[in-house]
Amino acid sequence: MSLAVAKQFEMQYAKGVIEEFREFFGLNYVEIAAVLGVDRRTLLRYRNQVNAPSPKVLERLETLIKIAALINKVFVNREEGIGWICAPVPLPRHRRPIDSMQCWKIDEVLALPAGQYSGPII
């Protein structure tokens, strides 16, 4: 696969994950940018397929897919999972999981629902 084709694939992949995550969790682009650790304008360049994400951002996008898959498996419905993401839970200092995601403390976020589920994530 040529470098140009690989970059095009990465841009399409990033756009798809960003839109899927936005729709799944009802987050805005500013919140998703914070979760990915990028500026909002950078996120919009990924979404508009102007730039390909860095390997670090690609890794974070993959983690977001795992979080969504875990929530789908653990919670009765998507709304319950979304409520969990946005509600204070027994994380350090009773932060909301979305706050921990924005600080990129994904282990904190994954630990709670993962403790209720013992099967494969994906």
Q: Given this model, what pLDDT does residue 70 score?
A: 79
The reply to whether 55 falls in a domain is yes
The reply to whether 121 falls in a domain is no
Instruction: Give the structural domain span for 9.
Output: 3-114
Other CB atoms within a 10 A radius of the CB of residue 107 amount to 9
Total count of domains within the chain: 1
Q: What is the pTM of this model?
A: 0.71
Higher pLDDT, 2 or 29: 29
Q: Given this model, what pLDDT does residue 94 score?
A: 63
- What is the rounded distance in angstroms from the CA atom of residue 62 to the CA atom of residue 18? 11
The reply to whether 30 falls in a domain is yes
Which one-letter DSSP state was computed for residue 70? H
- What is the rounded distance in angstroms from the CA atom of residue 15 to the CA atom of residue 41? 14
Instruction: Render pLDDT for 30-55 as a digit per residue (tens, 0 to 9).
Output: 988 988 889 999 999 999 999 999 99
The reply to whether 120 falls in a domain is no
Position 110 confidence tier, pLDDT thresholds 50, 70, 90: low
